[in-house]
Structure 1
Amino acid sequence: MDKVKQSHKRRGSSLAVQGAILALAGIIVRLIGFAYRVPLLNILGDEAQGYYGKAFEIYSFALIISSYGLPSAVAKIISARMAVKKYKEAHKVFISAMGIASIIGVLAFAIMYFGAEFLARLVYSENSVPAIRALSPTLLIFSLMAVLRGYFQGMNTMIPTAVSQIIEQLFNAIFSLVMASILIKQGLALGAAGGTLGTGIGALAGLITLICIYLLSRQVFLKRMNRDKHMTLDVSYGHISKLVIMTAVPIVIGSAAFHLTNFLDMIMINDAFRFHGYTEKAADTLYGVLTGKYKIIITLPISIASALAAATIPSITTSLVLKDRQQLVKKINLAIRFTMFVAIPACVGIFVLAEPILSMLFNDDHLELSTQLLQIGSISVVFFALSTISIGVLQGIDRLRVPVISSLKSLVIKMIFNGILLYALKTNLYGAVVTNIIFAFFSAYFNMSAIKRYTHIQFDIKKTYVIPAAAALIMGGICHITYIAIEFVAGSNTMATLLAILVSALTYVVALIKLKGVNKTELRAMPKGDKMVALLTKVRLLH
């Protein structure tokens, strides 16, 4: 019994390390993504960003339907074979999955490429056709890359996935900017297509990286297969292919449910523009403001918060396996609190510095509209972050269907409000932002209620929401005063904004500690927590 428990602990430790690696890679990828999207939007402008945003939303949904479930499905099946040392069968799974990915990838590419004109009309943007076609080959590349990532994850190593993700994003960033800069001279539609070409080039770089790692590791895999004494002749490729598909389909349905919101939202927003008599150019420009300036800034803190929290999910799974309820409850509370520690001050910071941040990062086009959208939508950072971490927790406690159901219920509510705000009341982008807040709120509410129902956990409301909110409000006041003072003295918006953000971060940390929102033990549970505690102790903020 002790050996079994030790085995579970070793597996849990390994899961935690692999989860931390992937979470760190996720943060790096998101920061690179933010860093290049800002200059890309400045190259394209709001109208071309509208073409880019619509094409990318179509591509994202097609990607989920075609191959998003493959990494998890392949990893799950291969992991099961590796556990019982069926190495030949694991390799058969890999070969079968590559065959499936090739067929699905070619079909997805063909549908998106040849159906580009229909898809562009669907979103009221004929100028999006070149961008849609430029993205279509990426569906095939990603399908193959998904299987390789799943293969390595099934071997219980996240390093190849993490490395390929970073390389993919670096190439994406560089070539998106280069190709957009070159092709924008030929017109806005081709400029948007140039921006999307970077996605395909990045995916190809990621695929080549994984192929190289596979070839370097191939001798190790072959040696394992030679030692395999299991009989696999009776397991046909057809049987394995069916298993891969049956495992992937539920994952795809779950992922599609989450991303269906953005896809339907895009269609409804643009159809509402058409309904109210907006020209196609005006609709593209307004959608460019929404997907560019608004979503880029709103998404960054959500991504960082969720990536940080993702590192805790494997250890939640371990506590569940070990049936350690005390640790399970503690880890769930900490995961949610860490997410709120980032999301709540981000919400306040975005509200206070909306206009200065937009002026610093982007051209002045539609500044007033973008500022108002950011200030209204800043609260969605909290709800979306809470929804994201709650999905992770539910997956960690093996309740995979619950987030899907929550997402679908929230989507129905959102569609009803879309009909009222976008069509009946003609609130345009303001209505789109409000319905996003509504969706995020209900998604978080349904998921958090489910966590409480299945774990009987008592959430620490004071430490999770009240103290961080109080610290963030103190931070917001200091932030506003700091910005005004520095901008008045130096006359530089950029300097005032950056220094205000720095002062705000320090103010928030001090306020959070002084209000007893976090202690040493809890800080140590965070990534790089020991170094954080040592630094805060050195400056006498912690005792």
Structure 2
Amino acid sequence: MNIYNYIKEAITINFKKQTLLQGTFILMIAGLINRILGFGLRMILVPIIGAEGIGLFQMVFPIFITFAIIATFGLPIAISKFVSERITKKSFRESLRLLKISLVFALLTGSIFSFIFYLNAHFIATRLLNNPQTELILKGIAPALFFITVSSIFRGFFQGLRMMTPTAISQIVEQVTRIIVTLVIVKSLLDYSLHYQATGVALGISAGEALGLLCLILIFLKVRLDMHQNITSETESESEKSNKTLFKNLIKFGFPITVGKIVASLMYSMEAILIPARLQAAGHSISKATELYGQLSGMVQQIVYLPTIITIAITSSLIPAISESLSINNYFELKNRYQEALRLTIYAGLPAAITFHLFPKKICDLLFGYPQAGEILKLISLGVIFLYLLQILSGVLQGLGKPNIVVINSIIGLIIEIFLIYYLVKEPNIGLNGAVLGIVARFIVVAILNFIAIGKSIGFGLDIKQLFLKPIFASGFMLIVLPATYQYSWNLWHNNLISLFLAITTGLIGYLLILIVIGGITTKDLNRIFN
């Protein structure tokens, strides 16, 4: 099947089971569209509400994510894994029972935590965040808790079926809705104070999550009809478990995932609380500390997390794929999928890290009009490849049924980060760079620990040449060509956008061509995506 036919098929929304590469490709395209739209929104918002307004919202968001994690209780990943195992064994009826049980739980917890979040907005704003301006933002984003909790269950179910298209479509619908609602509200509040305008961003998220959920429900109704024939022809098995047993299994698997995600969310919450506080200890005012934190979390981290559209896509496809291989004891396929995921991550992560390191100020100036944030981007670029790897490695461990190891490793990384932030950021000659060093240290430590854990489980044997030597060789081309192309383009047009675009495009094309020539990317890889 050629690219045209594949895209045509995707547009007609023909839901079917997809391979690891196909699922990754679909989620990657959706993620790319969402990130471009999200960056467009942020580029519009920064001149309006500034770094301080972005900082206010970024202080609220980690708290919101923590509540969302607790409300979902790790069930999205659990249902993805268990449904994948059941579908492999043609147990469609039990797959739907898993969905129903998870939905009942999500409807209950989503409602409860949304009300708790809304009613305690004043306490969170004044006692935890020490910023009363965040109260209204917290209330504006509270309804999104319910919608995101229920949506995550549907997405986990579809991913377990190895259908990534529903997730991709709902994410795009969600993002478009968020942008429209946010811009309409922010524009109507231009004459009001900054925290009212930042609340517009929160309300946009709530509206986007609501429409995204509606989209998933409509898609499920279509898929449910397609599954009906398989369910009616399936005979009830004596080995089928009771609803109580299924729920216990979901909770047992989901609990360590929840703890792990809480640790990750706690990390962001601690950053939102600790970094501004330690910057104040270094002599900065509250406003300046909020602005600096806004540069780190609302600008630089948004940039370095852009390539995670690939790692998130890989992980979403990888967990059910690993679970499927494990359920039938196909360790050969399991290792192949593991190495395939690592290869995709390294091949995408290296050029991103190089680009961030070579053009940090130019990128921050182009996207946000804050070239001063470039110093932070240049420093954090040294460790971003470990960020991308740790996401994949965590997904592999969850697919192997070892989420508890992910939790332990994440806690170790968090402790190291907090220690470094606490003692380094307060030093006036280090300041915000101390927070960056703490974040990078966490990336490296957690990635290494996850890699060791996987190696102990399935072996350390890796294709070093394919995974590391070939992409490093191709990356050398980018190190030489990117600066030269940028300078040549700048001399001709004196335009940062054109110069960056030509430099990055030239570098990426050369990088990919070299990988194709030396066998890093093969026709077999392309066939697995488009066939």
TM-score relative to the length of structure 1: 0.83
The 8 Å contact of residues 380 and 437 in structure 2, kept in 1 or not, is answered as yes
Question: Cα deviation per residue 1:59-112 (whole Å; 9 max; x = unaligned)?
Answer: 11211111252333455666777767684x766655554443233222212222
Go from structure 1 to structure 2 and tell me whether the alpha carbon gap of 1:152 and 1:310 turns closer, same or farther (over 3 Å shift). Answer: closer
Structure 1 distance, partners of 2:234, 2:473, is 60
1:120-159 equivalences in 2 (<5 Å):
120-121=125-126, 122-152=128-158, 157-159=163-165
- Match for 2:199 among 193, 210, 220? 193
- Is 1:471 the equivalent of 2:474? yes
- Match for 1:283 among 286, 289, 292? 289
Q: Which amino acid aligns with 1:56?
A: F
Instruction: Provide the residue aligned with 1:395 in structure 2.
Output: 398
Q: Which amino acid aligns with 1:301?
A: P
- Give the superposition deviation at 1:342: 1.2
Structure 2 distance, partners of 1:260, 1:175, is 29
- Give the superposition deviation at 1:34: 3.3
- Give the superposition deviation at 1:435: 0.8
Structure 1 distance, partners of 2:82, 2:336, is 31
| Partner-residue secondary structure (3-state), 2:426 | helix
Instruction: Provide the residue aligned with 1:494 in structure 2.
Output: 497
TM-score relative to the length of structure 2: 0.84
Q: Which amino acid aligns with 1:459?
A: L
Structure 2 distance, partners of 1:237, 1:315, is 25
- Give the superposition deviation at 1:189: 0.5
- Is 1:114 the equivalent of 2:119? yes
- Is 1:46 the equivalent of 2:51? yes
The 8 Å contact of residues 27 and 308 in structure 1, kept in 2 or not, is answered as no
Instruction: Provide the residue aligned with 2:342 in structure 1.
Output: 336
Structure 2 distance, partners of 1:338, 1:96, is 35
Q: Which amino acid aligns with 2:57?
A: Y
Instruction: Provide the residue aligned with 2:106 in structure 1.
Output: 101
- Match for 2:265 among 259, 270, 286? 259
- Is 1:212 the equivalent of 2:218? yes
Structure 1 unmatched ranges of 5 or more: 1-10, 531-543
- Is 1:453 the equivalent of 2:459? no
Instruction: Provide the residue aligned with 1:539 in structure 2.
Output: none
The 8 Å contact of residues 76 and 152 in structure 2, kept in 1 or not, is answered as yes
Instruction: Provide the residue aligned with 1:32 in structure 2.
Output: 37
The 8 Å contact of residues 471 and 520 in structure 2, kept in 1 or not, is answered as no
- Give the superposition deviation at 1:338: 2.1
Structure 1 distance, partners of 2:340, 2:241, is 45
1:305-454 equivalences in 2 (<5 Å):
305-308=311-314, 311=317, 314-321=320-327, 323-364=329-370, 367-368=371-372, 370-423=373-426, 427-454=430-457
Q: Which amino acid aligns with 1:64?
A: I
C-alpha RMSD of matched pairs (Å): 3.5
Instruction: Provide the residue aligned with 1:4 in structure 2.
Output: none
Go from structure 1 to structure 2 and tell me whether the alpha carbon gap of 1:403 and 1:248 turns closer, same or farther (over 3 Å shift). Answer: closer
Go from structure 1 to structure 2 and tell me whether the alpha carbon gap of 1:390 and 1:151 turns closer, same or farther (over 3 Å shift). Answer: closer
The 8 Å contact of residues 309 and 336 in structure 1, kept in 2 or not, is answered as no
- Give the superposition deviation at 1:166: 2.2
Q: Which amino acid aligns with 1:119?
A: I
- Give the superposition deviation at 1:378: 0.8
- Give the superposition deviation at 1:387: 1.1
Question: Cα deviation per residue 1:1-42 (whole Å; 9 max; x = unaligned)?
Answer: xxxxxxxxxx99767755654455444444433343332333
The 8 Å contact of residues 71 and 150 in structure 1, kept in 2 or not, is answered as yes
Structure 1 distance, partners of 2:272, 2:436, is 12
The 8 Å contact of residues 360 and 493 in structure 1, kept in 2 or not, is answered as yes
The 8 Å contact of residues 118 and 138 in structure 2, kept in 1 or not, is answered as yes
Structure 1 distance, partners of 2:156, 2:312, is 21
The 8 Å contact of residues 15 and 315 in structure 1, kept in 2 or not, is answered as yes
Instruction: Provide the residue aligned with 1:62 in structure 2.
Output: 67
Go from structure 1 to structure 2 and tell me whether the alpha carbon gap of 1:216 and 1:456 turns closer, same or farther (over 3 Å shift). Answer: closer
- Give the superposition deviation at 1:372: 0.6
- Give the superposition deviation at 1:291: 1.5
- Match for 1:518 among 512, 517, 520? 520
The 8 Å contact of residues 40 and 195 in structure 1, kept in 2 or not, is answered as no
Structure 1 distance, partners of 2:65, 2:47, is 22
Q: Which amino acid aligns with 2:123?
A: F
Instruction: Provide the residue aligned with 1:533 in structure 2.
Output: none
The structure with the largest alpha-carbon Rg is: 1
Instruction: Provide the residue aligned with 1:179 in structure 2.
Output: 185
Instruction: Provide the residue aligned with 2:254 in structure 1.
Output: 248
The 8 Å contact of residues 124 and 274 in structure 1, kept in 2 or not, is answered as no
Structure 2 distance, partners of 1:422, 1:525, is 49
Question: Cα deviation per residue 1:261-319 (whole Å; 9 max; x = unaligned)?
Answer: 22222222122134345332222211111112211111102333442575456555555
Instruction: Provide the residue aligned with 2:9 in structure 1.
Output: none
Q: Which amino acid aligns with 1:489?
A: L
- Give the superposition deviation at 1:145: 2.3
Structure 1 distance, partners of 2:232, 2:330, is 40
| Partner-residue secondary structure (3-state), 2:402 | coil
The 8 Å contact of residues 86 and 92 in structure 2, kept in 1 or not, is answered as yes
Question: Cα deviation per residue 1:303-337 (whole Å; 9 max; x = unaligned)?
Answer: 33442575456555555455455544444333212
Structure 2 distance, partners of 1:201, 1:59, is 15
Q: Tell me how many residue pairs correspond in the alignment.
A: 513
Structure 1 distance, partners of 2:85, 2:325, is 20
Question: Cα deviation per residue 1:170-223 (whole Å; 9 max; x = unaligned)?
Answer: 212332233233324312101111012111111110122223334556667788
Question: Cα deviation per residue 1:451-503 (whole Å; 9 max; x = unaligned)?
Answer: 22222233344443344234323312211111112112212111111111111
Structure 2 distance, partners of 1:229, 1:187, is 63
Question: Cα deviation per residue 1:337-378 (whole Å; 9 max; x = unaligned)?
Answer: 2211111111111111112222222224xx22x011011111
Q: Which amino acid aligns with 1:458?
A: G
Structure 2 distance, partners of 1:139, 1:49, is 20
The 8 Å contact of residues 59 and 269 in structure 2, kept in 1 or not, is answered as no
Go from structure 1 to structure 2 and tell me whether the alpha carbon gap of 1:236 and 1:465 turns closer, same or farther (over 3 Å shift). Answer: closer
Structure 2 distance, partners of 1:524, 1:334, is 13
Go from structure 1 to structure 2 and tell me whether the alpha carbon gap of 1:429 and 1:527 turns closer, same or farther (over 3 Å shift). Answer: farther
Question: Cα deviation per residue 1:509-540 (whole Å; 9 max; x = unaligned)?
Answer: 244445x3615266447645x8xxxxxxxxxx
**More moved, 317-326 vs 441-450:** 317-326
Structure 1 distance, partners of 2:81, 2:460, is 29
Structure 1 distance, partners of 2:338, 2:100, is 38
| Partner-residue secondary structure (3-state), 1:195 | helix
Structure 2 distance, partners of 1:306, 1:152, is 15
Go from structure 1 to structure 2 and tell me whether the alpha carbon gap of 1:26 and 1:195 turns closer, same or farther (over 3 Å shift). Answer: same
Go from structure 1 to structure 2 and tell me whether the alpha carbon gap of 1:248 and 1:400 turns closer, same or farther (over 3 Å shift). Answer: closer
The 8 Å contact of residues 391 and 403 in structure 1, kept in 2 or not, is answered as yes
